[in-house]
């Protein structure tokens, strides 16, 4: 029930909980399925005996998660310290526009499933929240970490009859981890076949124009290499409507192969009649 249903509760000050997280594991970064896995400890410091964060805190953008190892300590001054561990598979919309030289900001969000902003407000424990120095993410550097809190309004009352404006507001914790990919080695491994295709199309210009079959054989090999590389790279990446760095390199390679084929076919068709023009076209194509 909402505070509007209970006048005594509505007059009470909202619970203020100091929230912190400590990341102990970051793994399973999956571009294709747009997710990653994280394990972290979360703690809540407050003074309300009725508030049970280990039972009501949730990760709102997780595919799935588990809470375990919970403990609660009450100090002599009646300050309550609740701590527990989350293991979660979190949804993430990967920005691959500059892949494989991309930066990613992995975020997850915590809120309370039972108490809205009028009864519970978070305060970030910035000083103690961090990523464990032992956390290593293969092929990535961790460059930044931050935690912040604030209200989040949803365009629904979740059926609460005490809310009449069609919205509900909850306190939300936002945790962000910024990663920078070590992209040079991956770039060489992923695009080596594509650059071989480009080299084959370039070498074809050193073959005399009259040797059309040799040129077209090089073009065929280049096309197969480029198409094979495209299938391999595309299978690793999520679908996107934007033009990425990968798309630009692939398009450029196919364009260069197409130029070589166009020059060769033009000479095969017009060579005997327009030899001067077709040789000039070959020179431009080589450049």
pLDDT over 70 for what percent of the chain?
A: 95
Q: Band of the pLDDT at 10, cuts 50, 70, 90? A: very low
> What is the token pair recorded at 209?
């124009």
Q: Average the pLDDT over each of 21-25, 168-172, 198-202, 252-256 and give the range with the smallest value.
A: 198-202
Q: How many CA atoms does the CB half-sphere of 141 hold within 13 Å?
A: 8
Give per-residue pLDDT as tens, 212-223: 888 888 888 899
Q: Tens digit of pLDDT for each residue in 103-141?
A: 999 999 999 999 999 999 999 999 999 999 999 998 899
How many CB atoms are located within 10 Å of the residue 196 CB? 16
How far apart are the C-alpha atoms of 233 and 277, rounded to whole Å?
39
Tell me the CA distances in angstroms from 272 to 149, 210, 278, one per residue in order.
76, 10, 9
> DSSP E strands: which ranges in the chain?
15-30, 35-46, 57-59, 62-74, 80-91, 103-112, 120-124, 130-131, 140-154, 168-181
- The rounded distance, in Å, linking the Cα atoms of 180 and 227 is 29
Rounded-to-5 percentages of helix, strand, coil across the chain: 35, 35, 30
Higher pLDDT, 10 or 165: 165
Mean pLDDT score of the chain:
88
> How far is the C-alpha of 222 from the C-alpha of 230, rounded, in Å?
12
Residues whose CB falls within 8 Å of the CB of residue 210, separated by 6 or more in sequence, listed in order = 271
Q: Give the pLDDT score at 213.
A: 86
pTM of the complete model: 0.79
Report how far residue 59's alpha carbon sits from residue 206's, in angstroms, rounded to the nearest whole number. Answer: 61
Phi then psi for residue 82, to 5 deg, are -110, 130
Q: What is the pLDDT of residues 142-164, one digit of tens each?
A: 999 999 999 999 888 787 777 77
Q: Which of 223, 228, 203 is nearest to 214 (CA)?
A: 203
Sign of the dihedral defined by the CA atoms of residues 205, 209, 210, 216, in that order: positive
């Amino acid at each position: 029930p909402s505070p509007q249903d209970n006048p005594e509760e509505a007059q009470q000050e909202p619970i203020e909980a100091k929230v912190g997280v400590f990341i102990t594991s970051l793994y399973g970064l999956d571009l294709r399925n747009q997710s990653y896995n994280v394990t972290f400890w979360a703690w809540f410091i407050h003074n309300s005996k009725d508030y049970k964060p280990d039972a009501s805190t949730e990760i709102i953008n997780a595919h799935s998660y588990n809470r375990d190892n919970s403990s609660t300590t009450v100090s002599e001054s009646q300050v309550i310290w609740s701590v527990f561990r989350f293991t979660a598979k979190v949804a993430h919309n990967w920005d691959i526009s500059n892949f494989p030289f991309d930066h990613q900001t992995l975020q997850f969000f915590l809120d309370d499933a039972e108490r809205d902003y009028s009864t519970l407000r978070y305060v970030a424990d910035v000083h103690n929240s961090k990523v464990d120095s032992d956390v290593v993410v293969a092929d990535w550097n961790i460059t930044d970490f931050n935690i912040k809190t604030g209200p989040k309004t949803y365009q629904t009352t979740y059926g609460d009859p005490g809310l009449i404006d069609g919205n509900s507001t909850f306190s939300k914790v936002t945790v962000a981890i910024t990663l920078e990919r070590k992209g040079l080695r991956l770039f060489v491994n992923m695009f080596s076949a594509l650059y071989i295709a480009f080299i084959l199309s370039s070498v074809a210009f050193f073959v005399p124009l009259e040797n059309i079959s040799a040129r077209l054989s090089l073009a065929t090999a280049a096309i197969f290499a480029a198409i094979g590389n495209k299938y391999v790279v595309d299978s690793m990446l999520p679908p996107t409507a934007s033009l990425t760095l990968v798309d630009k390199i692939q398009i450029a390679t196919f364009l260069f192969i197409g130029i070589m084929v166009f020059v060769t076919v033009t000479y095969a068709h017009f060579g005997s009649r327009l030899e001067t023009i077709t040789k000039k076209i070959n020179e431009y194509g080589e450049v």
